[in-house]
């Protein structure tokens, strides 16, 4: 089965390995998913009465979201560092940076949890208004993406990674590069969500 | 080829949890054929109702419609209609065309040992399977299956029962398509054998590539829309509910400010490319069969490739031609009429190139060829009847009539389905090592061809007379339709003949499977790479030795050669 070519080495005429092309195509579909939801947001915002989105938007906590933005940007940086550490053959540093990335993800979820429950305490639910509906839908879907990414990151932080490192260093580096691309994408989505939901 | 020691696989590893693209392709094929049969059966019950409204449905009526004494109620008809459409498209044709044919043939035609990501490939099948189970299970829930049409237009779909299961099922089906098409793209781009340049790819591979791009880019917005509709149903949001809505006599308690039109935009942004997902693989199959049986290169191969690429691109900017009646405005209508007229050009290029391919060929009229030949005029009728629907002035009259049902069924039933049959007859020897019986094939083809036209041609007549679609009584309540109602019985009888005409096909498969294997790996004397593999190709590796490609895909009847075909792998 391992006769499938270009799993790790690049195909000369495309300059890509399979997983790299695969993740780019996957991300293209993700762009369309969030693109669809963003267009829905724009559509609904135009359809809403004057001031409706502004009024409900003002109920969100900008400081919490700003903190979360910082957290995610940090995690993107440490994600790159962990990959770079692998390339520099520094497995311990890899583990440290990946650990920080995972902690950042956890911190993000923790803050999000407080934001959500805070809203519920004030009797604000997705059904409260169109804005709240799209807010919970967009951020909820984003949270699912964070959780999904986190599960994979944790997998590559366990003993499994040590094993892979011992057996096939290039494979581990490739996998970290791929999940890194995904992780940057998830951050990027947040970079769009933050202004349109909290600031506009 | 690093692991040389073989480990024996048990039955489950080999046939159920397999990661071999051939087994997965066959899994897809069997499952989707069963779903096609089921979707057809739902329709047969509907057709009976349309011809004999208010009559007790024979045999099965007392089972399924027991509360009403065996008579089909309007809501039953709606359920059958919605599920027929959903099953035919998402569980039948797409999985057969992309899941089965794409999976089985793409790696072989590019000379690869397997798909690029075998495990994702299996995940794609099982996600499809779960989606199918959810859809089937919805029939047995207290709410019953969805009944808001395959289009699921809100506000109705927000209130009607069964819709939640439909949405959940769709999420699995969408996931499956995304995994599958990602795999196909990477396989085509990355795993082409040495020497297989882009313009040496068989046309079928091109059609799968374009199809996969459509699936990757068009399905996610539907997923987004499905999530929003799910929120409307279970979290009480009102994305698709306008303010001041009254349902079943009482005001709807919701925040409002939503827009039913938003759903239509998101839905058709998927669903228009989706119709090209239904037709492109069919075009690809027909191209292969035509070239092989005319013993001539496919005429205008490069134009065909450019045409379908352009078609794929354009299919993203025509969606609102389904919405001329929504009052979205003159400018929007003008734009989408224009793009719709433009997109018809590449389709005409394809059909023209196919017709010219026949010119001067020494045609072999075997069963695959008959189905492929029938595809041409049928797709032609389907396409040409679409033009009046693309122009707002005529669409205002034709929208939501049986004319529309006739139009798209000509594309998907005698069009796509015939092409898929052609593909099954053509590649059966590769998949099983046995050739389907020709006589029985013809017994399958001719009655199917007549019956298909018997079912769908009168729909144009009924539609032009103004008969609306989705009428549980076949239109009895409308005086203006009374002149064309007598066609209903004729169409229903044709549909049952169409059903009977599939018996030779099913029998043929089983008889052939129990016959002896042939040694000939290339019975059609074809040029493309899959025919140089053993039949069936070897598990997990496909070819006995590494493939190298030296020729274009359709070197038939090259002057000065002894044989009338030159396989791509011949040095
Ligand atoms: C082969 C025989 C087929 C027959 C005789 C048939 C017949 C019908 C009939 C009678 C309707 C209902 C019209 C109405 O009440 O409005 C219908 C609807 C539909 N069919 Fe088929 N059909 C066939 C195959 C297919 C195939 C292969 C596909 C798709 C690939 C398909 C997709 C649909 C869709 C999408 C609808 C609309 C459902 C809705 O109203 O939401 N059909 N068909
Ligand atoms: Cu369309």
Distance A26 CA to ligand 2 centre (A): 25
Q: Residue B113: its chain A contacts at CB < 8 A? A: 1, 3-4
Nearest to A4 among B113, B237, B259 (CB): B113
Contact B262/A2, CB-based, under 8 Å? no
Distance CA B564, CA B558 (A): 7
Nearest to B526 by CA among B448, B459, B452, B426: B426
Q: How far is CA B127 from the centre of its chain?
A: 18
pLDDT at position B7 is: 60
A24 within a domain of the structure (yes/no)? no
Nearest C-alpha in A relative to B114: A4
Q: Residue A28: its chain B contacts at CB < 8 A? A: 216-217
Nearest C-alpha in A relative to B254: A127
Nearest to B239 among A18, A35, A133 (CB): A133
pLDDT at position B199 is: 97
Q: Residue A55: its chain B contacts at CB < 8 A? A: none
Distance B222 CA to ligand 2 centre (A): 15
List the domain range (segments joined by +) for residue A144.
36-41+57-199
Distances (CA, A) of A192 to A187, A195, B178, B539: 9, 6, 24, 47
Distance B323 CA to ligand 2 centre (A): 9
Contact B237/A32, CB-based, under 8 Å? no
Distance CA B413, CA B501 (A): 14
**What are B56's strand-pairing partners?**
B71
Q: Residue B182: its chain A contacts at CB < 8 A? A: 22, 25-26, 29
Distance B345 CA to ligand 2 centre (A): 15
Ranges of residues in chain B whose predicted pLDDT is under 70: 1-8
CA trace torsion B46, B51, B55, B61 (10° rounding): -30
Nearest C-alpha in A relative to B7: A1
Contact B220/A44, CB-based, under 8 Å? no
Residue A103 phi, psi dihedral angles, 5° rounding: -60, -40
Nearest to B239 among A18, A35, A40 (CB): A40
A158 at the B interface (CB within 8 A)?
no
Q: Is the pTM of this model over 0.80?
A: yes
Contact B262/A40, CB-based, under 8 Å? yes
A169 within a domain of the structure (yes/no)? yes
The contacts found for A151-160 with CB under 8 angstroms, 24 or more apart, are: A152/A179, A152/A182, A153/A98, A153/A101, A153/A102, A153/A105, A153/A179, A153/A183, A154/A102, A156/A98, A157/A95, A157/A98, A157/A99, A157/A102
pLDDT at position B6 is: 52
A26 within a domain of the structure (yes/no)? no
Distance CA B113, CA B538 (A): 9
Q: Residue A2: its chain B contacts at CB < 8 A? A: 1-3
pLDDT at position A2 is: 47
Which residue of B1, B118, B189, B226 is the best one to mutate when testing the A interface, meaning the one whose CB has the most A CBs within 10 A? B189
Q: How far is B108 from chain A (nearest CA, A)?
A: 13
A61 within a domain of the structure (yes/no)? yes
**What are B556's strand-pairing partners?**
B565
Distance B92 CA to ligand 1 centre (A): 12
Whether residue A82 contacts residue A98, with contact meaning beta carbons closer than 8 Å, is answered with: yes
Instruction: Give the HSE-up count for residue A159: Cα atoms under 13 Å, Cβ half-sphere.
Output: 0
Nearest to B128 by CA among B175, B185, B184, B182: B175
Q: State the ligand closest to the CA atom of B405.
A: 1
Joined tokens for residue A187: 């951050």
Nearest to A36 among B117, B224, B540 (CB): B224
| 3-class DSSP state of B143 | coil
Distance CA B229, CA B270 (A): 15
A49 within a domain of the structure (yes/no)? no
Contact B238/A49, CB-based, under 8 Å? no
ipTM of this predicted structure: 0.95
Residue A100 exposed, middle or buried by CB count within 10 Å (0-12, 13-18, 19+): middle
Which DSSP helix (H) or strand (E) runs through B247?
Answer: strand B246-247
Q: Residue A141: its chain B contacts at CB < 8 A? A: 227
Contact B269/A36, CB-based, under 8 Å? yes
Joined tokens for residue B526: 């074809």
pLDDT at position B314 is: 96
The C-alpha angle B90, B96, B101, rounded to 5 degrees, equals 140
- CATH number of the domain at A146, please: 1.20.120.80
Nearest to B217 among A11, A29, A37 (CB): A29
A116 at the B interface (CB within 8 A)?
no
Please tell me the least confidently modeled range out of A8-12, A131-135, A178-182, B3-7: B3-7
- Dihedral (CA of B542, B544, B545, B547) sign: negative
Nearest to B216 among A16, A25, A52 (CB): A25
Contact B235/A16, CB-based, under 8 Å? no
pLDDT digits (tens, 9 = 90+) for A64-100: 999 999 999 999 999 999 999 999 999 999 999 999 9
Q: Residue B328: its chain A contacts at CB < 8 A? A: none
Nearest to B101 by CA among B270, B276, B286, B271: B286
A4 within a domain of the structure (yes/no)? no
A42 at the B interface (CB within 8 A)?
no
A68 within a domain of the structure (yes/no)? yes
Q: Which residues contact B221 (CB under 8 A, 6 or more apart)?
A: A32, A33, A35, A36, A39, B266, B269, B270
pLDDT, mean over chain A: 95
Q: How many domains does chain A have?
A: 1
A25 within a domain of the structure (yes/no)? no
pLDDT at position B2 is: 39
Domains of chain B (ranges, CATH numbers): 18-243+257-532 (1.20.210.10)
Contact A1/B540, CB-based, under 8 Å? yes
**What are A37's strand-pairing partners?**
none
A157 at the B interface (CB within 8 A)?
no
Q: State the ligand closest to the CA atom of B501.
A: 1
Atom 7, ligand 1: residue with shortest CA distance = B43
Spell out which residues line ligand 1, taking CB within 6 angstroms: B 40, 43, 46-47, 81-82, 84-85, 88-89, 93, 149-151, 278, 405, 409, 412-413, 417, 455, 469-470, 495
């Amino acid at each position: 089965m391992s006769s499938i070519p270009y799993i790790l080495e690049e195909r000369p005429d495309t300059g890509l390995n399979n997983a790299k092309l695969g993740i780019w195509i996957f991300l293209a579909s993700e762009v369309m998913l969030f693109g669809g939801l963003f267009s829905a947001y724009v559509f609904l915002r135009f359809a809403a009465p004057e001031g409706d989105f502004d009024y409900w938007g003002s109920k969100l906590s900008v400081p919490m979201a700003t903190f979360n933005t910082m957290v995610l940007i940090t995690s993107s940086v440490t994600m790159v560092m962990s990959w770079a550490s692998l390339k520099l053959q520094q497995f311990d540093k890899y583990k440290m940076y990946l650990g920080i990335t995972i902690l950042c993800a956890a911190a993000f979820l923790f803050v999000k949890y407080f934001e959500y429950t805070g809203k519920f305490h004030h009797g604000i639910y997705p059904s409260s208004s169109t804005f709240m509906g799209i807010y919970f839908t967009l951020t909820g879907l984003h949270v699912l993406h964070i959780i999904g990414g986190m599960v994979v990151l944790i997998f590559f932080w366990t003993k499994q990674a040590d094993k892979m490192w011992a057996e096939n260093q290039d494979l581990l580096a490739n996998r970290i590069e791929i999940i890194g691309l995904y992780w940057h994408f998830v951050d990027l989505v947040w970079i769009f969500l933050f202004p349109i939901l909290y600031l506009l | 080829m690093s692991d040389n020691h073989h480990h024996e696989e048990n039955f489950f590893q080999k046939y159920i949890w397999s990661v071999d693209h051939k087994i997965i392709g066959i899994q897809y094929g069997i499952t989707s054929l069963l779903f096609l049969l089921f979707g057809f059966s739902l329709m047969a019950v509907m057709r009976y109702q349309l011809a004999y409204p208010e009559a007790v449905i024979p045999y099965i009526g007392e089972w399924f419609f027991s509360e009403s004494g065996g008579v089909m109620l309007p809501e039953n008809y709606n359920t059958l209609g919605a599920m027929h459409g959903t099953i035919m498209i998402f569980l039948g044709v797409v999985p057969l065309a992309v899941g089965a044919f794409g999976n089985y043939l793409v790696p072989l035609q590019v000379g690869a040992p397997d798909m690029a990501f075998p495990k994702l490939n299996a995940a794609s099948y099982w996600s499809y399977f779960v989606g199918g189970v959810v859809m089937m299970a919805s029939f047995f829930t207290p709410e019953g299956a969805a009944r808001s049409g395959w289009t699921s237009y809100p506000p109705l779909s927000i209130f009607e029962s069964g819709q939640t299961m439909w949405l959940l099922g769709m999420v699995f089906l969408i996931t499956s398509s995304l995994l599958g098409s990602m795999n196909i793209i990477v396989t085509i781009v990355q795993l082409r054998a040495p020497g297989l340049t882009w313009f040496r790819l068989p046309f079928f591979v091109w059609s799968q590539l374009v199809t996969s791009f459509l699936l990757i880019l068009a399905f996610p917005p539907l997923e987004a829309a499905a999530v929003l509709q799910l929120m409307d149903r279970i979290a009480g949001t009102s994305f698709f509910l306008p303010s001041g809505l009254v349902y079943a006599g009482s005001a709807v308690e919701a925040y409002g400010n939503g827009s039913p039109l938003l759903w239509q935009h998101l839905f058709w942004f998927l669903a228009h490319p989706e119709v090209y997902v239904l037709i492109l693989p069919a075009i690809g199959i027909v191209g292969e069969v035509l070239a092989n049986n005319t013993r001539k290169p496919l005429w205008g191969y490069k134009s065909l490739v450019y045409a379908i690429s352009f078609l794929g691109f354009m299919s993203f900017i025509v969606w609102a031609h389904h919405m001329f009646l929504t009052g979205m405005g003159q400018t929007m209508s003008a734009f989408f009429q224009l793009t719709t007229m433009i997109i018809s050009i590449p389709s005409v290029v394809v059909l023209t190139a196919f017709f010219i391919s026949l010119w001067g060929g020494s045609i072999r009229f075997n069963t695959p060829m008959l189905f492929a030949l029938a595809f041409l005029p049928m797709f032609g009728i389907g396409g040409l009847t679409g033009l009046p629907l693309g122009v707002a002035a005529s669409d205002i009259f034709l929208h939501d009539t049986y004319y529309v049902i006739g139009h798209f069924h000509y594309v998907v039933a005698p069009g796509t389905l015939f092409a898929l049959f052609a593909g099954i007859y053509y590649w059966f020897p590769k998949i099983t090592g046995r050739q389907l019986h020709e006589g029985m094939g013809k017994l399958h083809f001719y009655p199917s061809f007549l019956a298909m036209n018997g079912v769908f041609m009168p729909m144009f007549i009924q539609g032009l007379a103004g008969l609306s679609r989705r009428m549980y009584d076949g239109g009895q309540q409308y005086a203006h339709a009374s002149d064309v109602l007598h066609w209903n019985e004729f169409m229903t009888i044709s549909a049952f003949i169409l059903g009977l005409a599939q018996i030779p096909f099913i029998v043929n498969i089983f008889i052939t499977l129990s016959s002896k294997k042939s040694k000939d790996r290339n019975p059609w004397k074809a040029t493309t790479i899959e025919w140089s593999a053993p039949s069936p190709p070897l598990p997990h590796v496909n070819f006995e030795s590494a493939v190298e490609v030296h020729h274009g895909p359709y070197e038939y009847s090259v002057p000065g050669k002894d044989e009338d075909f030159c396989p791509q792998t011949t040095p």
